[in-house]
Structure formats: structure tokens, C-alpha cells
Amino acid sequence: MVWLGVDLGDARVGLALSDPELTFAHPAGNVRVFGDSFQALDDVIGVIEDESVERVVVGLPLQLDGTEGKSAKKARRWVANLTKRMQDYIDAGECAVAQVPDIILLDERLTTVSAHRQLIDAQLGTRKHRPFVDQQSAVVILQTALDRAAHCEEQNSV
């Protein structure tokens, strides 16, 4: 079982994958989108197929007060487009997976701040952050989801 984390951005869409045991998230690269994150849909579907992804965790960029602004609505449209495009590929027999994976949205407030902090801690100069921050943000999003799932599983087994 593998999960995919996605951080939607205007220049790049960052990707992260879990290990099969759903313990750790690691960077899986960026997709350059040149101002339109919808350009990344086919690349993301390719990762889902190649890695046999069972769950996709997409960052939901809520405003600091918890309300949804324009970016959050765009993330919801992106998820709807991903779901529809995958289903169309599956229906046409053009997809290596049998069904659309579970796709969830996760509050991503302050993940970019956390990602920058982690990159600084890794001794990566701030000028060099730009190519890495989106995929590191995807790692933070995915690791949050993995930790929550493990915590829920732990609570249910007690």
C-alpha cells in the first residue's frame, strides 16, 4: 500500500510518496505547471499508476482563520478533475489501476513554513529552497495524514 501527497502550486506541483508500511513520507519530485496546476493531472495519474497508489492526500490551502478562499476552491476543483479524468481513463481501459484511489483533502496551513524550516535544518541555503519547497510541502502534508491514520489505528486497537 502506498499513499501520494500533493502540494498544488502555481509554478510547481510537489509530490511525495509513502513507504509501503505507511510510516514515512519522502519527496517524489515536482511537476512544472507554469501557472496552471491542472497541467499536472496526467503526470499525477502516471505516478498513481506506476506506484499503485491507494490514497491521494491533496493539500487544502485554507486561510489562517480556517475559511476557504479562492485557492481552496481551486484545490477542490483540481481533486474533482483528477477523479473524473482517472475514471474516464479507467472506463476507456487506458489506466493501469482498476479504480480511482481514495482522494482526500488535508488542511495545509503553514506547511510551506514548516517545509522551509526543514530545508534550513537540512543545511540547504534559502536561495536553493525554491525547487525543493513544493515537494517538501507535499512530504509535510502526507506525513501529517500518515501520522493521523496511525494515531486513529492506535486508538481503535486500545
How many angstroms separate the Cα of 59 from the Cα of each of 31, 140, 155? Answer: 15, 10, 25
How many angstroms separate the Cα of 140 from the Cα of each of 34, 105, 135, 137? Answer: 23, 13, 9, 5
| pLDDT for position 63 | 83
Cell numbers standing for residue 9: 502550486
* Strand order through the sheet with 53-60: 25-32, 12-18, 2-7, 53-60, 102-107
| pLDDT for position 62 | 86
CATH number, domain of 51, equals: 3.30.420.140
Mean pLDDT by 10 residues, the chain (158 residues): 94 95 96 92 96 96 88 96 96 92 88 57 58 84 93 68
| pLDDT for position 151 | 80
In angstroms, rounded to a whole number, what is the distance separating the alpha carbons of residues 135 and 150?
22
How many angstroms separate the Cα of 87 from the Cα of each of 35, 48, 80, 83, 124? Answer: 25, 13, 11, 6, 40
Which of helix, strand or coil describes residue 42?
A: helix
Q: What is the pTM of this model?
A: 0.87
Q: What range does the domain containing 56 cover?
A: 2-157
| pLDDT for position 10 | 85
| pLDDT for position 129 | 54
| pLDDT for position 127 | 59
Number of independent structural domains in the chain? 1
